Amino acid sequence: MTSDDVVAVADLPVAEKGPILIVTYGGGHVAMLTPVARSLIAKGHPVLVLALTTAVGYLERAGIPFIGYRHLPDADQADVVAWGRKLTSELPSGGSIELAESVAYMGLNYRELVVEHGLEGAAQLFAEKGRRVFCPIGLFKRWLAELRPSLVIATSAPRSERAALEAASALGIASICAVDLFGLQEIQWINRPGYASRICVLNQQVRDMFVEKGCHPDAIVVTGNPAFDRLQQPQVQEAGRAMRAAKGWGKDETVILWASQVEPERHPFDGRIGDPTLRRRIEAVLREFVSTHADYRLVLRYHPSESAQFHSGQARVELSPPSEDLATLLHALDIVVVTSSTVGLEAHLAGRCVLSVGGSVFNQDAPYGKMGIATEVSSPEGLGAALSRVQLKSEQRPSMVSAGPLMASATHNIVELAESLLGSEGTVSPLS
């Protein structure tokens, strides 16, 4: 079957449609969609997950069935295998991704590149951009026309996930694009008319930015990110209160967490100049502040990749090791200081007060102030004044009695949205 032979799946009777298709790669993306897959399966919906890269291991541990690129049509064709073997010949052995999966991924994607641009064009594009050039829309159009999914759910990644969503749009299949964080890069392709039936985002500020960049307002839905749902679970909140009591942090004390991270000399992607001394300067300012404010405590949590040594001996300053559960810790303290660490986002979702310090090469990548996540502090030197101005609301102090009302979970929000699209019998038109 060629791309020209496909039919609009939305025109098929409901009984002839297949499963809900979920497409995701690893890291935070699979962590976002695994709770959605689990909930849909529990509710009796047929679900098929196409797992990319390290999503395989994550889904295996989660007990969620999946397929890979090697299970797609034509993955065993001679030309696909030949391209795949050639392009994977220099890959190091012993990685977490099976060679057969890498061969199928590279071979199918490269063949699609040849179909679109010819042998010379494909070779030139791949030489210039590598895998970044892959977006096999034709491959997904042919596969989806055979699979006939009732709904496609994919993350905001730019290759297979984007191809799946654009193919679904072309075939009239209802779809959901789930954006894990702020979408500052992804908006470049998500704002295309008809990209997906619905786009799920983290909060109102992200939604406003997407609308400002050209997305149809009715297509953007604030759902939150299911990967962070655990932060609102009652048992985690209770564990936080128990941790605070066990550590002897008084109810009238204000506990500050400094979630440190590596600050390189240059930004890894665009070369902007960084300040490797920033993290230590922030720690020094916080230590000085606590030394002169007896009703404050400081907890230091170094990034796992930092080669930092904790200097003990100062009163009311302690270390949180990487083995300590972060979600529980966030419910035990009051204020979180970051530059651009995702701990700032998690702290915000846990109801903590967040201060974001400027001067990091990564501030532009995580504009917490603009996105309603944190109060911005221009430099480490301004931290003392900012901490003195913070007026903690009652819900931002870990209660010894009640955690307060819970928000609807992001998993629930996305599943409810998926079921509403299924209820429309797949006839939802992508909004332009």
Tokens of 351: 């109801």
Dihedrals φ, ψ of 190, to 5°? -70, -30
Number of domains composing the chain: 2
Classify residue 432: in a domain, yes or no.
no
Do 185 and 266 belong to one domain? no
Number of DSSP helices (H) and strands (E) in the chain, helices first:
14, 12
d(CA 17, CA 92): 41
pTM score? 0.80
Residue for token digits 């007896």? Answer: 294
Residue 243 domain flag: no
Q: What angle do CA 158, 164, 168 make, to 5 degrees?
A: 135
Q: Are residues 224 and 262 in the same domain?
A: no
DSSP state of 322: T
H/E element, 222: strand 220-222
Residue 321 shares a structural domain with residue 178: no
Containing structural domain, residue 294:
252-396
| Same-domain check for residues 256 and 221 | no
Regarding whether 187 and 46 lie in a shared domain, the answer is: yes
Are both 125 and 214 inside the same structural domain?
A: yes
Q: Is the pLDDT of residue 394 over 60?
A: no
**418 shares a domain with 391:** no
Q: Are 224 and 258 part of one and the same domain? A: no
pLDDT tens profile 26-53 = 888 999 999 999 999 999 999 999 999 8
- Judged against a pLDDT cut of 90, whether residue 69 lies above it is answered with yes
Say which residue, 10 or 102, is predicted with more confidence.
Answer: 102
Q: What's the whole-number average pLDDT of the chain? A: 87
Model confidence pLDDT, tens digit, residues 206-233: 999 999 999 999 999 999 999 999 998 8
Residue 86 lies in a domain: yes
Tens digits of residue pLDDT in 358-391: 988 888 888 898 888 899 999 999 999 999 998 7
> For residue 16, is it within any domain?
yes
Residue 264's domain is classified under what CATH number? 3.40.50.2000
Q: Are residues 76 and 201 in the same domain?
A: yes
Q: Are residues 269 and 327 in the same domain?
A: yes
From residue 247, give the alpha-carbon distance in Å to each of 192, 244, 311, 319, 333: 51, 5, 19, 12, 11
Residues 307 and 368 in one domain: yes
Establish if 138 belongs to a structural domain.
yes
Per the domain annotation, does 99 fall within a domain?
Answer: yes
Q: Is 370 exposed, middle or buried (CB count within 10 Å of its CB: 0-12, 13-18, 19+)?
A: middle
**According to DSSP H, which parts of 249-382 are helical?**
278-291, 326-330, 342-349
In a domain, 405, yes or no: no
Q: Specify whether 419 is located in the same domain as 388.
A: no
Q: What whole-number percentage of the chain has pLDDT above 90? A: 65
Within a domain: 78: yes
Give the lowest-confidence range in 83-87, 251-255, 397-401. Answer: 397-401
What pLDDT digit, counting tens, does each position of 255-270 carry?
A: 999 999 888 888 766 6
